[in-house]
Amino acid sequence: MTIFALLTALLPLALQSLIPASSHQRQQDAVCLQIQEDISPASTVYFPGDDRYTAGIMHWASSSSENSICVVEPGSSEDVAAVRTSFAVKGGGHASNVGFSSTTGVQIAMSRISDVKYDAHSQTAEIGAGLKWDDVYAALEAHNVSVVGGRVSGVGVAGFTLGEGGFNNFGIVTKFTLKTFPSKGVWGGFQYVAGTDLAQNAAAVADFCANVTDPKANIISNYGKGYMIYLHLCLLACDDTNSFLRRPKSPPPGIFDNLLAVPTLFSDVSSRNMTSFVKLVPDSIGLRGAFHTVPILKFTPSLLDVIANESAFWGTKLAPKGAGLITYAIEPFQPDIYEHNPDKTAYPPVRDVGYLPLNLYFAWVSAEFDEDFHAAMIASGEVIRQAAIAEGQDITNGPLYPNYAFPETPLSEIYGENVAELRRIKQIVDPKDIMGLAGGSKF
């Protein structure tokens, strides 16, 4: 089915918004029943009270879940087109912004579209939009290959991938074709560091960011609540032909030495497959939560001190309001990371500067304090941004990473000068604005 056919089939019931509330509810129920009649046996509609309905609307962050009028689990691309009213599309359900993959209309849950098909000849994998990266890595390990994807458990393929571009603005994606690379695993894991050892750890992190140039090695350093951090270490190994054909038993000297020398409360670092690696970090599923981001050019020791102080301050201040997690994730990449792709992309709008997406993730228990946590994240992000600017970092116009940005973020702060071109493309592929029926940032 072409995207034009799909968008045409999703043409909205234009007069629905004019129907009184009680009649509107009956009309919506009728819509779900009509969908039930229109879809093939490969798909199913679920209503409130059914366990599959509950699974269909559930998100990793409970604050992202909404009660839809029904859940549609399409088993084919054709059946996706049976929905003709306000809707949302959920892949893995890891979105932190309410309304981006949730709705009070019809929830399309892609969980049935879950095939992984590896083509050894083209060295590609076709991946269904209902999968999580855990499932993808596990399926591909049988072929000794892998793909570039999420680094923790529970992240969906669809949102992660489309969040590098235009989200759901151009249609409903049912399948992704990704390039594979040979792989037999990684050396990696995580370690928890006590607050008393933060200074030594910060020095080691800053040293890694400044001096390690091996593109196969990376870390994520998470400052949490000010009293400890956890490090996510990962190394992919190459042989002399630059092929990922062996699982490293240990890292080459000089890459993680300073980090591994920091005393730990707990450590689990070893040679392992990718499935094991992504499942290492404890999940916070069920809590309310939100992401925020600040574009950074360099994680200096002084900036890391600011981040550590912010985690300590807000961890203490928000504890009485039910803070579950207060984390700041340091994600260093090589300065030339965006130069590997010569093609123009939606994000980042500029590829000659390697902005690093500092990730703020706050999780809490009660909806009563939603505004408090959101305000705290904005305030904390601004403190860090100003500290980076004071160091001389030119981040005033740095683009915000889409998957970490607040829902109210202006499109220009994510896509820069690309917004006009993205709107032009949107008009071509979706002239009737069918995807405007779905939530999320819109061009």
Q: Is the pLDDT at 269 greater than 60, yes or no?
A: yes
CATH code for the domain in which residue 337 is found: 3.30.70
Going by their DSSP bridges, the two strands 116-119 and 175-179 should be labelled as unpaired
Q: Is residue 214 part of a domain?
A: no
403 and 307, same structural domain? yes
Q: Is residue 394 part of a domain?
A: yes
Domain count, the chain: 4
Once rounded to an integer, what is the mean pLDDT over residues 168-189? 93
404 and 287, same structural domain? yes
3-state helix, strand, coil split of the chain in percent (to 5) is 35, 20, 45
- In the chain, the amino acid numbered 209 is C
Q: Is the pLDDT at 83 greater than 80, yes or no?
A: yes
The 10s digit of each residue's pLDDT in 292-343 is 999 999 999 999 999 999 999 999 999 999 999 999 999 999 888 888 888 8
351 and 432, same structural domain? no
Out of 281, 304, 320, pick the residue that ends a domain: 281
Q: Among 21-30, 50-59, 259-268, which range has the highest average pLDDT? A: 50-59
Q: Is the pLDDT at 180 greater than 90, yes or no?
A: yes
Peptide bond into 253 cis (omega under 30): no
90 phi, psi to nearest 5 deg:
-115, 125
CATH code for the domain in which residue 98 is found: 3.30.43.10
Q: Is the pLDDT at 423 greater than 70, yes or no?
A: yes
Contact of 146 with 137, CB cutoff 8 Å: yes
The 10s digit of each residue's pLDDT in 369-421 is 999 999 999 999 999 999 999 999 999 999 999 999 999 999 999 999 999 99
